[in-house]
């Protein structure tokens, strides 16, 4: 792993991140709280459409889902300020355990079937537009600060591809096309496979843990966004993909 954490550039060269990198580092971390806010608004809108449920029950359901989500994001940032993610198993556990907890929570939620029935399928599919943020891995790869940037090149390209196709697929599904649903199911499955592929590729190159430990200029500048993607956006996307598959099959 030591080789992965070594600059490709000559050690005598001291570089600073380009202005575009600083701009990305300044703006992109805001994506994660904005994503939580968007989920909160969408969830409240869906609950309000359930006219058979009282307002107090709507509020309790909203808080039951949103408080853990907000706490999760805060916990991620708090842990990132420590060396918690330096542990070899921290990131795999952080990626896999939250989706399991979330799905169990959803299954135990009395209003879950009704809630999924009023949630537009296009909303879940289109929310994956956020995955374009993963293009930041391409910036890291292009910086030449990693000797083996296979994870970054593959992850960045696939994240951008998934992100830019999210809205077109969502619009297609919203039109009610019979072909759109099986296509959306296949794409959801492929997008979940993308995460499994990323975990494998991380074993053969500079993976997320390497980047969170690295202190080179570009990686250090983009670390808050990298942390947010790996420890929050990825497991959240897994949850959304699973819910989307459940919804499309049940519908």
If you ran DSSP here, which 8-state letter would residue 212 be given?
A: H
pLDDT tens per residue, range 174-204: 998 889 999 999 999 999 998 888 888 887 7
Which tokens belong to 112?
A: 């879950």
Instruction: Please give the full DSSP string across 86-112, using - where no structure is assigned.
Output: GSTTHHHHHHHHHHHHHHHHHHH-TTH
pLDDT tens per residue, range 37-60: 999 999 999 999 988 889 999 999
pLDDT (0 to 100) of residue 15: 59
pLDDT tens per residue, range 58-87: 999 999 999 999 999 999 999 988 888 888
pLDDT tens per residue, range 96-127: 999 999 999 888 888 888 999 999 999 999 99
Whole-model pTM?
0.89
With 0-12 CB in 10 A as exposed, 13-18 as middle and 19+ as buried, what is 181?
middle
If you ran DSSP here, which 8-state letter would residue 15 be given?
A: -
| Rounded-to-integer distance, Cα 92 and Cα 203, Å | 12
| Rounded-to-integer distance, Cα 194 and Cα 212, Å | 21
Which tokens belong to 14?
A: 């001291």
């Amino acid at each position: 792993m030591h080789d992965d954490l070594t600059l490709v550039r000559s050690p005598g060269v001291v570089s600073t991140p380009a202005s575009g990198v600083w701009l990305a580092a300044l703006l992109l971390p805001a994506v994660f709280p904005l994503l939580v806010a968007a989920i909160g608004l969408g969830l409240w809108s869906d609950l309000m459409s359930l006219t058979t449920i009282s307002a107090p029950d709507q509020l309790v359901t909203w808080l039951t889902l949103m408080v853990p989500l907000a706490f999760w994001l805060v916990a991620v940032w708090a842990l990132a300020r420590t060396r918690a993610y330096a542990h070899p198993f921290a990131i795999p556990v952080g990626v896999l355990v939250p989706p399991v907890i979330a799905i169990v929570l959803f299954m135990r939620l009395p209003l879950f079937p009704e809630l999924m029935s009023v949630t537009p399928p296009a909303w879940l599919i289109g929310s994956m537009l956020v995955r374009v943020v993963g293009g930041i891995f391409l910036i890291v790869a292009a910086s030449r600060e990693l000797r083996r940037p296979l994870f970054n090149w593959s992850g960045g390209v696939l994240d951008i591809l998934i992100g830019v196709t999210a809205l077109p697929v969502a619009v297609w599904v919203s039109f009610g096309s019979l072909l759109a649903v099986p296509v959306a199911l296949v794409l959801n499955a492929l997008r979940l496979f993308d995460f499994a592929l990323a975990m494998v590729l991380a074993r053969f190159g500079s993976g997320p843990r390497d980047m969170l430990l690295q202190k080179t200029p570009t990686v250090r500048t983009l670390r808050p966004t990298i942390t947010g993607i790996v420890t929050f956006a990825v497991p959240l996307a897994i949850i959304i993909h699973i819910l989307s598959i459940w919804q499309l099959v049940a519908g």
